[in-house]
Chain A
Amino acid sequence: MRYTASMRTLLFLLATVALAQPPAGKPPLRDRAAAGDPDAQFTLGKNYEAGRSGLKKDYAEAASWYRKSAEQGNAYAQASLGILYHSGKGLPHDDLLSEMWFIIAAERVDPNDRQTIVDMRDSVAAHLKPEQIAEAQRLALEWKPKKNP
């Protein structure tokens, strides 16, 4: 029994280490994220949200990395931030900010993905008063991408 548990732990650690290895010639994901790569920041956020690639499941960390990526203009990270604001996981529940990020993402995402984001944007809007939607739109309009915030 102990042997099985130890083997399991060992294999899990080996798999974790293997998964964490970057492709040859590419810095580790965390280094790239820390250096400001918005795609790496999004992936790191997703890994925290899902609790994989050796990371603990941590919605607050996920939100933090999504925000860094979103602020630079990554539409998937913007939508993911919208999801977390709406669910209240890792962030205080805030449908106005959720709506703002979905509006921003819908404007920037690939046209093939736009309808998906629009559906989520409209779903959150159903929970808001007209003046709150107007405020979310105003905030989205004022939003500007920042280089490696």
Chain B
Amino acid sequence: MRTTRFVVAIALGCALAQGADWPTDGGNPQRTAWQKDEKILNKDNVKNLKIVWKLQLDNKPIEMHSLFPPLIADKVNTANGPKQIAIVAGVSDNIYAIDVATAQILWKKHFEYPPPARRGRPTDPLCPAGLTATPVIGPPNANGTRPVYAMAGDGEVHTLNLADGEDLAAPYQFGYPFGKSYALNFWNDVLFTTTAQGCAGNPNQIWAINVKDPAHKVMTFHPKSGGLWGRTGAAIDEDGVAWAPTGDGRYDPATQTYGNGLVGAKVVGNELKLQDYFIPKNWAWLQSRDLDMQVTPAIFKFKGKELMVAASKECRIYLLDTKAAGGDDHQTALDRTGLICNEEVNFASAGIWGALASWEDAQGTRWVLSPFWGPVHPDYKFPVSHGPVTHGAVVAFKVEEKDGKFKLVPAWMSRDMDLAEPPVIANGVVYAYGSGEDTEQAYPDRGLDDNSPERIHDSTHAVLYALDAENGKELYSSGDQIKSFVHFGGLSIANGRVYLGTFDSILYCFGLEGK
């Protein structure tokens, strides 16, 4: 193994008996990004957060991509006893299993395959030629073995034993070679992913495959849109409907064209069928200004209903009912916010990007969280804020119901962050980060020239923040401790540890000394 490893500080007396997992991107199939079982980190002690260890992995970055959000599983029975394991995928077709207590690599898998016939344009940040879907950890089988489902860059799904990395099944084709699949989700034996940007000729659609189907039939639903590029793929509701934003495009129900909206598709028999959809009334404006709906929704229960929130680069949030998204006309949300940001109607470096989040506090208040890029809209006011916001921030809303009407009520806005990315929540603390990446796609002297080398050169470094989830007050900042930026990475949290992988293929583990 050529991995160069350096451990800054090994956790002292690491507690292994916590039992919380983070088995999928966004924490759960509903993509709420809420760690319900955190018992170590809290509002009082998070100010003492520090880098417990950082690990240099031998993953080679491709375009701007490097490490995807770690998955965490506790109490995994290994040959050397139970361990808490972090599974980290790298874009150059690597899967690493790391012992969280010692920062040791327990096993590594590198996927090899013949070069696919097509690939994205070299230097194009949109279409890296490699593994792009965050894997997912499935539930244990009868003998307690837990599978890791990972899709290699050639589109094959590998089923690995979480404990030792051995193959549990022969690989099978699911995605499109170098087709840029988004984070895998898992529901009732079915893997889901989404695709966007038409990488290597890949169609933009929702994909599903039953891992127990001997024929491994690939099921798809194609919304005929610009791309389903919600950062954490599809979110799945209680009926197994996979919801994904459709990106730029037209809306024409007569021709089953569902651009600039949110579609929900479900496995029926051995086909993936459209169940419902939501298209904002101003979809034509969104298309005319390239403000596509492109954010993975968060799905949650509230007062006996299952609701979800969705958003777009236009910078407003929609509250929807999963049982009737958009109502009878598919275009009427339960509520929609005003414009939170993007006053200049910028298509590249402003608006809401990535994924949303939701949690419920001890009093039963349901919260919705959103990151955004760029300055806050001067007309949108939050009762609590923490200084001027010009580069991005995280905002929080309370979900309220009165006389059968559901509303998103603004609660707080965080401090300024350099391109705020999707937050995660645990034990009353919101963890967020500014990615530090350069997002410029067009230049006055050249026009559109979205190229990785220039964007990498102009990127800075990520900063992790911990915020009080009740009011957004900053409780911790990593300052300049993280040395590189993050593109398509993400936060994970379990058992007192917060993880973030950066472009230079370093995995950071933040925690408390002695915990």
List the B residue with the shortest CB-CB distance to A115.
B282
Residues B288-345 near A (CB distance < 8 A) = 288-290, 314, 331, 338-339, 343-345
- CB of B344 within 8 A of CB of A87, answer yes
- CB of B288 within 8 A of CB of A46, answer yes
Q: Mark A115-126, 1 if CB is under 8 A from B, else 0.
A: 111010001001
Residue from A52, A53, A79, A80 whose CB has the most chain B CB atoms within 10 Å: A52
Judge if A36 is at the interface, Cβ distance under 8 Å: no
- CB of A51 within 8 A of CB of B447, answer yes
**A8-B282 contact in complex given A50-B348, A56-B446, C-beta closer than 8 Å:** no
How many residues does chain B have at the interface if contact means C-beta atoms less than 8 Å apart? 33
Majority SS of interface residues in chain B?
Answer: loop
Residues from chain A with a CB closer than 8 A to the CB of B378 are 123
Residues from chain A with a CB closer than 8 A to the CB of B449 are 12
Q: Mark A28-49, 1 if CB is under 8 A from B, else 0.
A: 0000000000000010001000
- CB of B442 within 8 A of CB of A51, answer yes
Q: Mark B246-289, 1 if CB is under 8 A from A, else 0.
A: 00000000000000000000000000000000000111110011
Judge if A107 is at the interface, Cβ distance under 8 Å: no
- CB of B447 within 8 A of CB of A57, answer yes
Tell which of B122, B281, B284 touches A11, judged by Cβ atoms closer than 8 Å. B122
Question: Number of contact residues on A: which range applies?
Answer: 20 to 34
**A56-B447 contact in complex given A46-B289, A83-B344, A113-B282, C-beta closer than 8 Å:** yes
Residues from chain A with a CB closer than 8 A to the CB of B343 are 86-87, 123
Judge if B379 is at the interface, Cβ distance under 8 Å: yes
Residues from chain B with a CB closer than 8 A to the CB of A89 are 344
- CB of B344 within 8 A of CB of A50, answer no
Nearest CB on B from A133, distance (A): 16
Judge if A76 is at the interface, Cβ distance under 8 Å: yes
Nearest CB on A from B247, distance (A): 16
Residues B433-486 near A (CB distance < 8 A) = 441-449, 451
Judge if B202 is at the interface, Cβ distance under 8 Å: no
- CB of B122 within 8 A of CB of A4, answer yes
List the A residue with the shortest CB-CB distance to B121.
A11
Residue from A87, A89, A116 whose CB has the most chain B CB atoms within 10 Å: A116
- CB of A50 within 8 A of CB of B448, answer yes
Judge if A134 is at the interface, Cβ distance under 8 Å: no
- CB of A123 within 8 A of CB of B379, answer yes
- CB of A76 within 8 A of CB of B447, answer no
Bound CA–CA A76/B447 (angstroms): 22
**A8-B123 contact in complex given A46-B288, A116-B282, A123-B343, C-beta closer than 8 Å:** yes
Judge if A110 is at the interface, Cβ distance under 8 Å: yes
Residue from B290, B347, B377, B442 whose CB has the most chain A CB atoms within 10 Å: B442
List the A residue with the shortest CB-CB distance to B290.
A50
Bound CA–CA A109/B331 (angstroms): 18
Bound CA–CA A51/B442 (angstroms): 5
Residues from chain A with a CB closer than 8 A to the CB of B444 are 51, 56-58
Tell which of A50, A52, A119 touches B339, judged by Cβ atoms closer than 8 Å. A119
Residue from B281, B285, B290, B314 whose CB has the most chain A CB atoms within 10 Å: B285
Residue from A46, A51, A109, A123 whose CB has the most chain B CB atoms within 10 Å: A51
A-B contact pairs, 19 of them (CB 8 A): A8-B122, A12-B451, A46-B289, A50-B290, A50-B348, A52-B448, A53-B447, A54-B447, A56-B445, A57-B447, A58-B444, A83-B344, A83-B345, A87-B343, A109-B285, A112-B281, A113-B281, A115-B281, A116-B282
What 7 pairs across the A-B complex have the smallest Cβ distances?
Answer: A51-B442, A52-B448, A112-B281, A51-B447, A113-B285, A116-B282, A76-B288
* A8-B451, A116-B285, A117-B285 known, 20 other contacts, Cβ within 8 Å: A7-B122, A15-B121, A50-B290, A51-B441, A51-B443, A51-B447, A53-B447, A53-B448, A54-B447, A54-B448, A56-B446, A57-B443, A57-B447, A76-B289, A79-B285, A83-B344, A86-B343, A112-B282, A112-B283, A116-B282
**Interfacial residues, chain A to chain B (CB-CB below 8 A):** 4, 7-8, 11-12, 15, 42, 46, 50-58, 76, 79-80, 83, 86-87, 89, 109-110, 112-113, 115-117, 119, 123, 126
